């Protein structure tokens, strides 16, 4: 398991554990359990989502949640190393020599783009096709993120609706003390459930999806530049410097450190 995947799980567990710890009191944890409030808040939020989105979006949510946990197939640093290697081979032996290397690439986006290069597709057409792929990917990610953002908005709203229901029940018969307690409990617990669903589940997943999408878009834009540079026969050193421009300062430092270490090993060998 990669570091960022591990942090996602740790973050969720830490939030849950700390919240449960804060809920500890002499009254016990059962005071926070109310099935009717769950029906109002969670059931109401899911019901409104069914009204707002087609079933096809719900079928994808399981895959989306798994996607939140996963890292990119290929990091930017690995991408630069790959394109530097491919460009050197293409410069020595020609573009057709890359066919075997392309078949072994696990990233479908790179494989498709490089296959078009070997097939002799025009650079403008390659850029257009691959840019359309990025746009469609961004739309899919945005649609999935919007579902969780909507859930993050509806859950607290349904919690407030539950609060109103509880207050109405409480005020229906002020002479009955048990009715007052029951109504007040529902009024508060539904708001609690709505906040939990929104702030511990829906909004963090939406934020992670937006972050993952932005990262992947940046990587794919870098891939397009690398592919077109190889097709144009650009010097491998220039391709490397061009792709390194997509890295953050810390990533650049790490890349050059690893690259220098690799060169040293090669020379010593």
User: What does the alpha-carbon distance between residue 181 and residue 173 come to, in Å, rounded to a whole number?
Assistant: 11
CA separation for the pair 232, 235 (Å, rounded) = 9
Per DSSP, the three-state class of 157 is helix
What number of other Cβ atoms are within 10 A of residue 74's Cβ? 17
Question: What is the number of residues in the chain?
Answer: 269
CB 110 within 8 A of CB 223: yes
* C-alpha torsion angle, residues 116, 121, 122, 124 (rounded to 10): -40
The residue-averaged pLDDT of 45-49 equals 91
Burial (CB < 10 A; 0-12, 13-18, 19+), residue 93, is: exposed
- Rounded to an integer, the average pLDDT of 89-111 is 91
* Angstrom distance (rounded) from CA 212 to CA 216: 6
Residue 227 CA to residue 113 CA, distance in Å, equals 7
Give residue-wise pLDDT tens across range 185-217. 677 888 999 999 999 999 999 998 898 888 889
Tokens, residue 153: 């908005």
Query: What is the predicted pLDDT for the residue at 169?
Result: 76
- pLDDT exceeds cutoff 60 at 267: no
Does 12 have pLDDT greater than 90? no
Whole-number Å distance between alpha carbons of 180 and 190: 16
Give the pLDDT mean for 159-173. 82
Task: Indicate whether this model's pTM tops 0.75.
Answer: yes
């Amino acid at each position: 398991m990669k570091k960022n995947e591990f942090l996602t799980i740790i973050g969720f567990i830490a939030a849950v554990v700390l919240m449960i710890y804060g809920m500890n009191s002499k009254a016990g944890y059962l005071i926070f359990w109310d099935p009717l409030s769950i029906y109002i808040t969670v059931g109401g939020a899911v019901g409104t989502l069914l009204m707002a989105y087609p079933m096809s979006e719900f079928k994808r949510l399981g895959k989306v949640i798994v996607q939140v946990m996963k890292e990119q197939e290929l990091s930017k640093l690995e991408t630069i190393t790959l394109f530097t290697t491919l460009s050197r081979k293409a410069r020595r032996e020609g573009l057709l020599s890359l066919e075997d290397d392309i078949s072994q690439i696990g990233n479908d986006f790179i494989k498709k783009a490089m296959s078009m290069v070997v097939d002799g597709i025009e650079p403008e057409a390659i850029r257009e096709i691959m840019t359309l792929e990025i746009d469609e990917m961004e739309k899919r990610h945005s649609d999935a993120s919007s579902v969780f953002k909507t859930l993050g908005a509806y859950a607290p709203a349904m919690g407030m609706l539950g609060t109103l229901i509880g207050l109405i029940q409480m005020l229906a018969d002020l002479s009955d003390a048990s009715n007052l307690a029951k109504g007040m409990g529902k009024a508060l617990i539904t708001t609690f459930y709505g906040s939990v669903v929104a702030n511990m589940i829906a909004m963090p997943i939406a934020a992670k999806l937006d972050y993952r999408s932005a990262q992947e878009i940046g990587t794919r834009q870098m891939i397009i530049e690398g592919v077109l540079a190889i097709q144009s026969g650009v010097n491998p050193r220039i391709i490397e410097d061009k792709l390194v421009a997509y890295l953050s300062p810390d990533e650049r430092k790490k890349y050059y450190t690893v690259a220098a270490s690799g060169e040293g090993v090669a020379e010593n060998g």
